[in-house]
């Protein structure tokens, strides 16, 4: 079974621009979560989508947004990029809520998109 895929793997953007990152979850997984990883702050939760709806949100400004499509693929968007947005952006997929199985807890990560803002 194919894992979580993220595109692109690397991006270089200029301050003030916007960027869109894409994530395809594991087949059969309906929930997608996004995380930001930086050396200073570590791994931080951005938001989670299930059934095309944002279910949970971390403590990030409104410049960070996302969406999910009917096939469970997800995109996240960062507008008005700042130097501090340089990070590895990770997507994780899981089965999703409403399932009384232990494995529904488990989140599987993709390789990430390395965003550099100059």
Partner 1 sequence: GENVEQHPSTLSVQEGDSAVIKCTYSDSASNYFPWYKQELGKGPQLIIDIRSNVGEKKDQRIAVTLNKTAKHFSLHITETQPEDSAVYFCAASPYSGGGADGLTFGKGTHLIIQP
Binding site for partner 1 (CB under 8 A): 4, 31, 33, 35, 42-45, 47-48, 50, 55-56, 58-59, 90, 92, 94, 96-98, 100, 102, 104-112
Considering just the CA atoms, what is the radius of gyration of the chain in Å?
Answer: 14
Instruction: Compare residues 81 and 110 and give the one whose CB is closer to partner 1.
Output: 110
**Residue 46: CB minimum distance to partner 1, A:** 8
**Residue 61: CB minimum distance to partner 1, A:** 16
Q: Which has the closest alpha carbon to 50: 29, 64, 35?
A: 29
Question: Cα–chain-centroid distance for residue 10?
Answer: 14
Instruction: Compare residues 42 and 62 and give the one whose CB is closer to partner 1.
Output: 42
How far is residue 37's CA from residue 66's CA, in Å, rounded to a whole number? 17
**Residue 55: CB minimum distance to partner 1, A:** 6
Q: Which has the closest alpha carbon to 108: 9, 5, 37, 10?
A: 5
Instruction: Compare residues 19 and 90 and give the one whose CB is closer to partner 1.
Output: 90
Backbone phi, psi, residue 103, to 5° = -70, -10
Instruction: Compare residues 78 and 91 and give the one whose CB is closer to partner 1.
Output: 91
């Amino acid at each position: 079974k194919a894992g979580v895929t993220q595109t692109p793997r690397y991006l270089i953007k200029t301050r003030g621009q916007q960027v869109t990152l894409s994530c395809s979850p594991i087949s059969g997984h309906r929930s997608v979560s996004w995380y930001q990883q930086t050396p200073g702050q570590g791994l931080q939760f951005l938001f989670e989508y299930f059934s095309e709806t944002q279910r949970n949100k971390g403590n990030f400004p409104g410049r960070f947004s996302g969406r999910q499509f009917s096939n469970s693929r997800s995109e996240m968007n960062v507008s008005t990029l700042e130097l501090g947005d340089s990070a590895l952006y990770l997507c994780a997929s899981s089965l999703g809520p409403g399932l009384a199985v232990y494995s529904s807890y488990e989140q599987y990560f993709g390789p990430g998109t390395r965003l550099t803002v100059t």
